[in-house]
Structure 1
Amino acid sequence: MGDWRPRLIASDMDGTLLRSDDTVSERTRAELAHWRAERVPVVIATGRPPRWMLGIREVLGTGTAICANGAITLDLATLRVLGEHSLQPDVLRTVTGELRRRQPDTWFAVEYGDQFRHEPVYQPRWDVDAPGVAEATLPEMVAQPVAKLLARHERLSRDAFVELVAEVVDGRATVTHSSTDALAEISALGVTKATGLAEVSAAHGLGAGDVVFFGDMPNDLAAFAWVRDGGGHAVAMANAHPDVLAAATHVTDTNDADGVAKYLAQLR
């Protein structure tokens, strides 16, 4: 790896920084603390919404989280939303209407700020009874700008459904996925983890060549491309999706074997 050292560390959470039990190991905590003591910012870049940042705040205390695949920038210390790139109602109505026409059993949910709304038939997998989570009708959900539209199908395969969603969206928005389920994540056109990471890096006076980014799923691919093409390190976990492994500049160990910490230790 030569003498290259990151000036900003960025990481996905699930399948990357977090172990399978949703915790951060002591080794990883210590390694991140070392770099923070060296004044290297540690940035989270995740598909998770702001309301799921309490656990990582306990680990990092302060810093910036890029949430909802780049749509929301969050101050971890205060959990205050610093910026939000929203899908607009006209796009929401068009996309949901066409998806419902093509696949009537497609069900929807939306994220905005610290709120989550879902159709009554939509089956959330997590925090069903958490604050900010409520049922709503589709017309109610698409009547205001949102950070992320979620489309779920209970019978189609993940890849077939995501392909259908991408075909329907067709340049109106950005489609990605980070789940083993048939769940498509839809953000405003051009909004990805890459755009969020570029904004945060620029705020620190840095560019892609200063960044090491760790990831494991297709919603990390845009950030991988930005970092890789700019001369930084795009590091895939050994447990990563095949497309992510193919896009990486480097590969580290699995999330359960402290892959992030092991890679960072080599860069000291």
Structure 2
Amino acid sequence: MSDWKPRLIASDMDGTLLRHDESVSPATVAELERWRASGVPLVLATGRPPRWMHGIREVLRHGTAVCCNGAVLLDLEPMEILDEAPLLPDALAAITAELRVHEPTMWFAVEYGWEFRHEPVYRPRWDVDAPGVAAATLPEMTATPAAKLLARHESMTRDAFVQLVHDVVGERGTVTNSSTDALAEISAPGVTKATGLAEVAARHGVAPEDVVVFGDMPNDIAAFEWVRDGGGRAVAMAHAHPDLLAVATDVTGTNDADGVAAFLAAL
């Protein structure tokens, strides 16, 4: 694959495209612009909701974002939602009720795309006083379709907690994790970054064999497998989670070392 070149570039944001200060280096911006000028689009594939995409839009200005781990497709230029695959109220109510029976000290929040609701006892790590963020009761939160359900525990280890949530949710939702916290992210059944990327790639007429995807966390695994199994390149950051490294085709440098730009430049 020494002469292989992508027809579509897909990248996670946090821990991948973004440095630890949440900036995108000038070198990375220039490299992405070089590819865009030759007709290769960039797709951001992130666990972030649309309301967290304004900053990256100011840097990249265009492109499509697969948000909320595949549940929302966002056109960055007009900041317009193109498609959604939400968890429905009945599923939200059933999943949260059963999870609470198994572990009464877990707390819930929901992403609606442009808004965020959390139980009063849930401790948000970001956006505590931001517009669209508010406390709500669990019945209020689960009465409306949600892009993503979040379950958090303050004392269990990350892996143990995510496994517990996965075991309880089963086939009623897709469970993943993208942080070092005991935070489980739950999407509608079958919804992953891979399904979102596949839809965007199809809109561009691009097959997985012509896609390169970059990532660092378990919520990137489905996208890596989709690209790898289709003959494309699945590139893990040097600091990536071991489970992601296990399914990667390539490894590049860290996010702070501009690993995405370095890999693309080498092509």
For the criterion TM > 0.5, the same-fold answer is: yes
TM range (shorter): over 0.9
SS in structure 2 at match of 1:213 = strand
Taking every aligned residue pair, what percent have the same amino acid on both sides?
A: 72
SS in structure 2 at match of 1:185 = strand
CA–CA separation in structure 2 for the residues paired with 1:185 and 1:71? 11
Q: Check if 1:192 corresponds to 2:192.
A: yes
CA–CA separation in structure 1 for the residues paired with 2:72 and 2:54? 15
Letter in 2 for 1:56: I
**How far is 1:113 from its partner?**
2.5
Structure-2 residue corresponding to 1:56? 56
**TM-score calculated relative to the size of structure 2:** 0.99
Q: Deviations over 1:85-117 (max 9, x none)?
A: 010111111110011111111100001130100
Structure-1 residue corresponding to 2:102? 102
CA–CA separation in structure 1 for the residues paired with 2:55 and 2:86? 25
Structure-2 residue corresponding to 1:224? 224
Letter in 2 for 1:84: E
Q: CA RMSD in A?
A: 0.7
CA–CA separation in structure 2 for the residues paired with 1:255 and 1:205? 29
Runs of 4 or more consecutive aligned structure 1 residues displaced over 4 Å after TM superposition: none
SS in structure 2 at match of 1:255 = coil
Q: Deviations over 1:132-175 (max 9, x none)?
A: 11111000011111100000000111111101100110111000
Structure-1 residue corresponding to 2:166? 166
CA–CA separation in structure 2 for the residues paired with 1:30 and 1:206? 23
Where structure 1 has 5 or more consecutive residues not aligned to the other structure, the ranges are: none
**Count of matched residue positions in the alignment of Structure 1 and Structure 2:** 267
CA–CA separation in structure 2 for the residues paired with 1:158 and 1:139? 26
| Alignment map for 1:1-268 (pairs within 5 Å) | 1-267=1-267
CA–CA separation in structure 2 for the residues paired with 1:27 and 1:11? 16
CA–CA separation in structure 2 for the residues paired with 1:50 and 1:110? 13
SS in structure 1 at match of 2:83 = strand
CA–CA separation in structure 1 for the residues paired with 2:30 and 2:69? 26
SS in structure 2 at match of 1:200 = helix
**TM-score calculated relative to the size of structure 1:** 0.99
**How far is 1:228 from its partner?**
0.2
CA–CA separation in structure 1 for the residues paired with 2:253 and 2:62? 26
Letter in 2 for 1:225: E
CA–CA separation in structure 1 for the residues paired with 2:191 and 2:238? 26
